[in-house]
């Protein structure tokens, strides 16, 4: 390590006095002007991580669905997965170190993580369309260069594309070609093979899709991908970033939270519409019915559609492959009931956060996971994948072989490294076309239970402790008993509370048979939290 170069460059990316940030599920996120030193130091860390695992590591500069003024960074591990939890701690230490301690902290990380400093290192870097992203990615490149790392700057990419590129690189091309063209070709080829079988007379209307791209990177990448699509695919891109601000009154997060269409997209009744978020790793669908009422189709319903389709195919193939759906406590109770009781698919509940869902989904031959916010994917075990590919080639029985082929195309269409809005959109479009379903028919598979999300400000969020995948509170004493008593008063109801991962608030979720009851239950639970968990400010109002 060249101490002089480190000192010199570190001084060009100084840490603001008194600022401490923590690496969480979403990496680092803050106002863009606070992040210059963080980017430089994450460049350093990526080199160390690369040397430790002797693989290419990714750096993605994005703050996803946050406002345009914010930015952030996350590191991508060798197979396109999120950064190993023990390294999240190193990231936090390195980010908050005083300048004079930087070299010492780097040496400590090398020692603890058995980093061989003489190994080569390689880093892939990508960024979203925020005004601050280019300069911040340059700061990360400075960090990579100081420690002598090799890097490839992919420039503007969606978050899932960077995950995909890293995985392709580290599997020596087995997962695909480590280029954007490779990504477009792999997905569009699988998609074209799937919809080849759809009867060409099945209504032009059905093939039209309006896409709100949140004024973000998704618009640029979908426009690049358009020439690769079969000509029957009619996609119309809205909120492409040419006029308005990123994520402002649009995008998947806005539509999910406000339960209304985004600005800049005119919906006709019964038209199929979807929204991506700012870095294109989440998607939600929606439509207006004949009476002009807005209907949201969230991650729970996406998981259900995919599960119905995969279950039918697996039954046709006739293999004993184990499939399961992984959800969090936020999943609507109706979806859980439908999956378990009607579809007879096992459902597992885990703590909130993509890494928990992804980790659990890896335990099955076929693991489907989606958060209600529209972030999710499907994982196929190595054994399941090779079995399916073998059947698609060698199975003598026509029906079985054809079903295996459809599964094989599905495997190629799905981005298994991470939730990917573009890939998920193509999966959904293919399933709707193959099953001949309208968006209303999909929505009618089950009716969501009315629900309400609230938050209560508290002096210290750490007073709340939970168990059973965050569905029950174990601290403060008496809170869970109080919630249990309140839940008993309403039909089909449940409620839970959990501390926010980022601020001193407690999040409350309640559902019940009517919206009125869900609202009342959520309010009563928020009062219980306010009184028993040290609420701040005025008590919650109904």
353 exposed, middle or buried (CB, 10 Å; 0-12, 13-18, 19+)? middle
In the three-class reduction of DSSP (H, G, I as helix; E, B as strand; rest coil), residue 280 is classed as coil
Residue 527 CB partners (closer than 8 Å, separation 6+): 539, 540
Q: How far apart are CA 445 and CA 460, in angstroms?
A: 41
Q: Is 227 annotated as a binding residue?
A: no
How many Cα atoms sit within 13 Å of 115 on the Cβ side? Answer: 26
Would you call 64 a catalytic residue per the annotation?
yes
Distance of CA 170 to the CA centre of its chain: 22
Q: Is 29 annotated as a binding residue?
A: no
Q: Is 277 annotated as a binding residue?
A: yes
Query: Hey, CA dihedral for 497, 324, 366, 309, is it positive or negative?
Result: negative
Q: Is 372 annotated as a binding residue?
A: yes
Task: Assign 3-class secondary structure to 185-251.
Answer: HHHHHHHHHHHCCCCCCCCHHHHEEEEECCCCHHHHHHHHHHHHCCCCCEEEEECCCCCCCCCCCCC
* Cβ proximity of 250 and 212 under 8 Å: yes
Q: Is 133 annotated as a binding residue?
A: no
Q: Where are the alpha helices (DSSP H) in 436-508?
A: 439-443, 479-487
Q: Residue 2 gets which letter from DSSP?
A: -
Q: How far apart are CA 233 and CA 223, in angstroms?
A: 13
> Hey, how many other C-beta atoms are within 10 angstroms of the C-beta on 333?
17
Among 433, 448, 65, smallest CA distance to 272 is for 433
What radius of gyration do the chain's Cα atoms show? Answer: 24
Q: Is 373 annotated as a binding residue?
A: yes
Q: Is 300 annotated as a binding residue?
A: no
Mark 71-98 as b/e (b = at least 16 C-beta within 10 Å): bbbbbbbbebbbbbeebbebbbbbbbbe
Residues in the chain: 542
Which H or E element spans position 427?
A: helix 421-435
Q: Is 371 annotated as a binding residue?
A: yes
* Cβ proximity of 63 and 278 under 8 Å: yes
Q: How far apart are CA 436 and CA 386, in angstroms?
A: 29
Q: Residue 458 gets which letter from DSSP?
A: B
Q: Is 471 annotated as a binding residue?
A: no
Q: How far apart are CA 10 and CA 14, in angstroms?
A: 6
Q: Is 179 annotated as a binding residue?
A: no
Q: Is 279 annotated as a binding residue?
A: yes
What interhelical angle do 3-12 and 36-53 show, nearest 10?
A: 140
The residue annotated as part of the active site, out of 64, 137, 307, 423, is 64
* Cβ proximity of 83 and 77 under 8 Å: yes
Residue 270 CB partners (closer than 8 Å, separation 6+): 287, 288, 289, 290, 438, 439, 440
Which residue numbers belong to the known binding site for Mg(2+)?
Answer: 64, 277, 279, 281
Q: Give the residue ranges of the annotated binding site for substrate.
A: 371-373, 498-502, 507
Catalytic residues: 64
Binding-site positions read 64, 277, 279, 281, 371-373, 498-502, 507
């Amino acid at each position: 390590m060249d101490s002089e170069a480190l000192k010199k460059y570190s001084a060009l990316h100084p840490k603001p006095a008194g600022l401490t940030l923590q690496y969480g599920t979403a990496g680092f996120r803050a106002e863009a002007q606070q992040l210059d030193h963080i980017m430089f130091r994450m460049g350093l860390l990526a080199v160390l991580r690369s040397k430790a695992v002797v693989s290419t590591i990714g750096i993605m500069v994005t703050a996803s669905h946050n406002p345009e003024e914010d930015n952030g960074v996350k590191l991508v591990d060798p197979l396109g997965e999120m950064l190993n939890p023990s390294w999240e701690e190193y990231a936090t230490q390195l980010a908050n170190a005083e300048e004079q301690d930087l070299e010492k902290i780097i040496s400590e990380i090398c020692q603890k993580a058995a980093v061989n400093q003489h190994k080569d290192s390689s880093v892939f870097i990508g960024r979203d369309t925020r005004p601050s992203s280019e300069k911040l990615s340059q700061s990360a490149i400075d960090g990579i260069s100081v420690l002598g790392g090799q890097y490839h700057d992919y420039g503007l990419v969606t978050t899932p594309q960077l995950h995909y590129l890293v995985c392709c690189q580290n599997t020596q091309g087995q997962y695909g070609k480590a280029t954007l063209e490779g990504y477009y070709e792999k997905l569009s080829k699988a998609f074209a093979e799937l919809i080849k079988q759809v009867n060409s007379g099945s209504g032009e209307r059905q093939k039209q899709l309006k896409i709100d791209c949140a004024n973000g990177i998704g618009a640029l990448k979908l426009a690049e991908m358009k020439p690769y699509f079969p000509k029957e695919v009619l996609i119309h891109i809205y909120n492409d970033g040419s006029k308005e601000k990123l994520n402002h009154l649009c995008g998947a997060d806005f539509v999910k939270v406000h339960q209304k269409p985004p600005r800049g997209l005119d919906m006709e009744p019964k038209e199929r519409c979807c929204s991506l978020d700012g870095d294109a790793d989440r998607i939600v669908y929606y439509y207006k019915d004949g009476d002009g009422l807005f209907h949201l189709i969230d991650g729970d319903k996406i998981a259900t559609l995919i599960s119905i389709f995969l279950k039918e195919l697996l039954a046709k193939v006739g293999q004993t492959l184990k499939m399961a759906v992984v959800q969090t406590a936020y999943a609507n109770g109706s979806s859980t009931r439908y999956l378990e009781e009607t579809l007879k698919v096992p459902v597992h509940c885990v703590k909130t956060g993509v890494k928990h869902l992804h980790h659990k989904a890896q335990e099955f031959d076929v693991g489907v996971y989606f958060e209600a916010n529209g972030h999710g994917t499907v994982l196929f075990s190595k054994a399941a994948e090779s079995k399916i590919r073998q059947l698609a080639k060698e199975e003598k029985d026509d029906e079985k072989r054809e079903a295996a082929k459809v599964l094989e195309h599905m495997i190629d269409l799905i981005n298994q490294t991470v939730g990917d809005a573009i890939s998920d959109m193509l999966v959904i479009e293919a399933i709707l076309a193959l099953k001949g379903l309208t968006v209303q028919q999909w929505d009618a598979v089950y009716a969501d239970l009315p629900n309400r999300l609230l938050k209560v400000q508290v002096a210290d969020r750490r007073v709340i402790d939970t168990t059973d995948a965050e569905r029950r509170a174990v601290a403060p004493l008496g809170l869970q008993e109080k919630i249990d008593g309140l839940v008993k008063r309403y039909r089909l109801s449940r409620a839970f509370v959990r501390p926010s991962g980022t601020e001193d608030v407690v999040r409350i979720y309640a559902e019940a048979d009517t919206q009125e009851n869900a609202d009342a239950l959520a309010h009563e639970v928020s009062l219980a939290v306010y009184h028993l968990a040290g609420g701040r400010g005025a008590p919650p109002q109904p």
